[in-house]
Amino acid sequence: MTNPFQPPAGVSGDADLQTVVRADVARALEEDVGAGDLTAALIDPARRVRARILAREPAVICGAPWAEAALRTLDPGVQLIWHVQEGERCAADQVVLEIEGQARALLSAERTALNFLQLLSAVATKTRHYVDAVAGARAQIVDTRKTLPGLRLAQKYAVRMGGGTNHRIGLHDAVLIKENHIAAAGGVTAVLRAAAAVAARAQFVEIECETLEQLAEALDAGARMVLLDNMPLPMLHDAVRLNAAHPAGPAILEISGGVTLEGLRALAETGVDRISIGTLTKDVKAVDFSMRLQDLS
């Protein structure tokens, strides 16, 4: 399977897809199976079964590497046939995966595999809805740090599978100057001057602006990436014009705050470059999957 997970600058090269998957699955299986599955132990260890995983609703499939790892950890010889590939849409009641392997292992890995599929497919599906809503506009749909603790890289991977773009991974790889940073540092110009000292270690330096006056000051102080926070639509149009006319050339403009699917198209048509949306990873409804077994003995 092609590895679409590309860590941004500042993140260790060891944080590739398989490293992330192995760590996530190990934690999940330890949490669920622990010292052993007492119920699966009732099954003959020699018994083999065939199983099918079905999606009970339309979705963008995501989480295959995690599901596979959960199954292979408990049955290294398990046979898997995917009928819907990662990042593709499925229909309601469609079989997405066929499995053949040891009955005990499949029963023990079932919930862990489905948990990853239901969460990551939910993120990818929701992201695809937002990406489709801005089709044809220049704006990219971008995620945030509003993720489940311990599953940030998995959820950000799912955003990419849904067609979205990753923002910073954490506090360590980029500078995002928000209202409280500006107040604590003594103003827009002062905080941007201070940011210059760490810019070489950061993927980017971005500053939040709530007014056109703040935007003008930020651009004059050399800002090349600006987050327009909770601005009403007419002000956003003014901000885009102000940015385009600046002598230093236009900075990258990002919208954040109060973004809804219903109002998304109008925001994208202002001409901004990015729209960041916390709900992609924060407010997700799990996709319904189920696994059904057939005895092969």
> Same domain for 141 and 29?
no
Q: Is residue 165 part of a domain?
A: yes
On whether residue 196 sits in a domain, the answer given is yes
- Which of 10, 38, 24, 51 has the alpha carbon at shortest distance from 293? 51
Name the catalytic one among 72, 111, 152, 224.
Answer: 111
Whether 118 and 150 map to the same domain: the answer is no
- Which residue among 50, 146, 193, 265 is the active-site one? 146
> Tell me: the pLDDT tens digits for 200-238?
999 999 999 999 999 999 999 999 999 999 999 999 999
* pLDDT computed for residue 6 by the predictor: 52
User: For the segment 30-72, what is each residue's pLDDT rounded down to a tens digit?
Assistant: 999 999 999 999 999 999 999 999 999 999 999 999 999 999 9
Note the pLDDT of residue 172: 93
In a domain, 268, yes or no: yes
Claim to verify: residue 116 and residue 99 sit in the same structural domain: yes
Residue 125 in domain: yes
Identify whether 156 is a catalytic site residue: no
Residue 145 is among the residues annotated as catalytic for this protein: no
The answer on 169 and 236 residing in a single domain is yes
Band the pLDDT of 13: cuts 50, 70, 90: very low
Residue 11 falls within a domain, yes or no?
no
Q: Of the listed 37, 57, 229, 238, which one is catalytic?
A: 229
Instruction: Residue 89: give the domain boundaries.
Output: 17-132+284-295
Q: Which of 68, 75, 208, 254 is catalytic?
A: 208
Of 12, 2, 282, give the one whose Cα is nearest residue 169. 12
The total number of structural domains in the chain stands at 2
Active-site annotation holds for 126: no
CB atoms inside a 10 Å sphere around CB 265: 14
Give the pLDDT band of residue 7 (cuts 50, 70, 90): very low
67 shares a domain with 154? no
pLDDT score, position 81:
98
285 catalytic? Reply is no
The CATH number given to whatever domain includes residue 86 is 3.90.1170.20
Give the model's confidence band at 5: pLDDT under 50 very low, under 70 low, under 90 confident, else very high.
very low
Please indicate, yes or no, if residue 228 is contained in any of the structural domains.
yes
44 given a catalytic annotation: no
Of the candidates 48, 145, 178, 224, the residue annotated as catalytic is 178
Distance CA 14, CA 159 (A): 21
pLDDT surpassing 90 at residue 85 = yes
